Amino acid sequence: MDFDEPLMEKQITESLKSFPVNVLKIYPASFSILNGLTYGLIRTSEGRRLAVMGEKESLLADPFRGEIFYGSSALKICDLSADNTEALMSLFPYTRPTSVLKYRCTLGTGDRLGVATPGHIRAVRKFKALPVLAQQSVRENTQTGRDYRGVIRDAAWAVFQEDYRRGYGADGDHLKSLPEVQTALDAGVTMVTLDLSEKLNPEAFHAPADWVESKFRDEIDEEESKVLLHLFLGKEFHLRSPQGECRIQYSEEEVKRNALLYHKAIDFTEEVYELIRSRSGHPSIDFEVSIDETPFPTSPGNHLFFIIELNHRGIRIDSLAPRFIGEFQKGIDYRGDLGAFREQFSQHMVISQYYGHKISVHSGSDKFSVFPDVGRLAKDGVHVKTAGTSWLEGIRLVAFKDPFLFREMHRVALSSFKEASKLYHVTTDLRRIPDIETLQDQGLPALLDQADPRQLFHITYGFLLNAKDGDGKSLFRDRFYQTLAHHEEDYWSLLERHIERHLVSLGVEEGEE
Ligand code: ZN
């Protein structure tokens, strides 16, 4: 911000008054002067708009498209369209996403609704951490009816609104196919998270030894099999890092099981890696590989096998998301043996530090009981993804501000839970959810502090956003977004508090680096 805020706010509000535009609010942090023009975000009765003020001639030469009003000076009101977003990113380069994973502590915030990012920024900017503000999976985009371009556009305008200049990432999360990776890259993501769950063969870990023998002979060609046995057999891998050490040995059977488990996934990772590298003028893309949505935890032995294979093929990844021991369910705290988690996490850290990639903690929202260990063991670098909390805090806001709407949404969430639980792994017990007909309005927000109601809402977002009445009109979507917009500062405060709690619990230092 280039201005004395209260004075500037008054001046801008005054000068806007001389134009026939219904200004409901200005976003003071966004205002700045460039090439003799004043730029800033405002809210009109039509929604958020970019205001450009100055001399008529300069205004005509300015790249943003919009409606121009003339008075003693001139004012241009521009919508936040795709073209104007391009102009924004050229004029204000810090609004363009960039590679951030090299930074020590990074946090994926994931703005499911496209209106939460200012709250995320207000939290993260206080800490020595960089955010991946635009982070959505294909599954989320399908449920919310958004696409990667739109996701990045929403983040860019929020960055402008908050005058946040330290850089942020855009993650195409849980991409499962080459076309999905292509689409996300075309839209401008700066991070690819490749989901390998469909390329893994978990049977390789439970099947009897003779199955492994014959399958290995069938699937792995002779050349590759020689290489694998040479890489892994008869060695002790002894890795050390400041956080501890880790010793791993593989039997021949273990090598074969790991090979069967991962070989298709590794081939696919190689394909995607080549695709990313082949793109003309490819800016640096953070490349993450996720094996977190698998039916069993990733052991340090699995991790090491996988990374040695990638290295051997010359594939560099920036982060790996293992599945940890215990339960990392969406939107609620960790469930499982803390000691076992700590032990395994520290082994994963040793491996990742040795090979120079980060550990990425998926479904990281609300894992407050493991954060202190994660933060301590991952001092030298970690990526934590929280997803969907922006939606849950939105629901909390509705519980505060519009109990009637909340009750209606709660009813539909209950009736769509069964269908929604096919998409997400949760252990919600609907019987543990209080009967809300018996609750007073002021008791509703506290539901969002309980695991079962949280998960109920966490996974039914698509059903709620897409629910229609008898005439095909949206049942909740418009009212929900209106409530968020109407109380946006309250919404952003809830988000700020929530994300801040994550960073404090992870032990991330305050301040800028
Ligand atoms: Zn994940």
In tens, the pLDDT along 131-155 reads 999 999 998 999 899 999 999 999 9
Compute the distance from residue 407 Cα to the ligand 1 centre, in Å.
Answer: 30
Instruction: Name which residue leads in pLDDT, 422 or 289.
Output: 289
* pLDDT digits 0-9 by tens, 204-215: 989 999 999 999
User: How far is 178 from 274, CA to CA, in rounded Å?
Assistant: 11
* pLDDT digits 0-9 by tens, 225-273: 999 999 999 999 999 988 789 999 999 999 999 999 999 999 999 999 9
- pTM of the full structure: 0.95
User: How far is 114 from 111, CA to CA, in rounded Å?
Assistant: 5
CB atoms within 10 A of CB 439: 15
User: How far is 305 from 227, CA to CA, in rounded Å?
Assistant: 13
Compute the distance from residue 293 Cα to the ligand 1 centre, in Å.
Answer: 6
Residue pair 466/460 in contact (Cβ under 8 Å)? The answer is: no
* pLDDT digits 0-9 by tens, 23-62: 999 999 999 999 999 999 999 999 999 999 999 999 999 9
Told to judge if 163 belongs to the known catalytic residues of this protein, a careful annotator would answer no
- In the chain, the percentage of residues whose pLDDT exceeds 70 is 98
Q: What angle, rounded to 10 degrees, do the helices at 300-312 and 222-232 form?
A: 120
Task: Give me the catalytic one of 62, 140, 173, 402.
Answer: 173
User: How far is 175 from 191, CA to CA, in rounded Å?
Assistant: 11
DSSP state of 221: -
Compute the distance from residue 382 Cα to the ligand 1 centre, in Å.
Answer: 15
> What was the pLDDT predicted at 282?
61
What residues does the ion ligand 1 have nearby, CB within 5 Å? 292, 362
Phi/psi for 428 (5° steps) reads -60, 135
* pLDDT digits 0-9 by tens, 101-113: 999 999 999 899 9
For the chain, domain boundaries: 5-91, 94-199+285-389+499-505, 400-497
> What was the pLDDT predicted at 386?
93
Told to judge if 288 belongs to the known catalytic residues of this protein, a careful annotator would answer yes
Instruction: Name which residue leads in pLDDT, 428 or 76.
Output: 76
Compute the distance from residue 291 Cα to the ligand 1 centre, in Å.
Answer: 8
User: How far is 16 from 237, CA to CA, in rounded Å?
Assistant: 68
Compute the distance from residue 233 Cα to the ligand 1 centre, in Å.
Answer: 32
* pLDDT digits 0-9 by tens, 243-252: 789 999 999 9
Strand (E) or helix (H) holding 32: strand 23-34
Q: Is the dihedral of CA 393, 399, 405, 409 positive or negative?
A: positive
Phi/psi for 54 (5° steps) reads 160, -160
Rg (C-alpha) for the chain, rounded Å, is: 25
> What was the pLDDT predicted at 133?
98
- Spell out the residues 6+ positions from residue 339 whose beta carbon is closer than 8 angstroms to its own: none
> What was the pLDDT predicted at 65?
97
Coil, strand or helix: which one is 187? Answer: helix
Beta bridge partners of 136: 172
Domain spanning 94-199+285-389+499-505: which CATH class is it, in words? alpha beta
Q: Is the dihedral of CA 134, 140, 144, 146 positive or negative?
A: positive
User: How far is 296 from 293, CA to CA, in rounded Å?
Assistant: 9
Q: Is 130 exposed, middle or buried (0-12, 13-18, 19+ CB in 10 A)?
A: buried
Beta bridge partners of 382: 105
> CA 462 from chain center: how many Å?
17
Coil, strand or helix: which one is 127? Answer: strand
Compute the distance from residue 365 Cα to the ligand 1 centre, in Å.
Answer: 11
Strand (E) or helix (H) holding 463: helix 461-466
> What was the pLDDT predicted at 281?
62
> What was the pLDDT predicted at 241?
83
User: How far is 513 from 510, CA to CA, in rounded Å?
Assistant: 9
> What was the pLDDT predicted at 280?
65
User: How far is 483 from 181, CA to CA, in rounded Å?
Assistant: 34
Compute the distance from residue 459 Cα to the ligand 1 centre, in Å.
Answer: 14
CB atoms within 10 A of CB 233: 13
Compute the distance from residue 59 Cα to the ligand 1 centre, in Å.
Answer: 46
Residue pair 225/252 in contact (Cβ under 8 Å)? The answer is: no
DSSP, residue by residue, 156-209: HHHHHHHT--S--EEEEEEE-SHHHHHHHHHHT-SEEEEE-GGG--GGGGTS-H
> What was the pLDDT predicted at 89?
98
Task: Give me the catalytic one of 62, 154, 163, 288.
Answer: 288
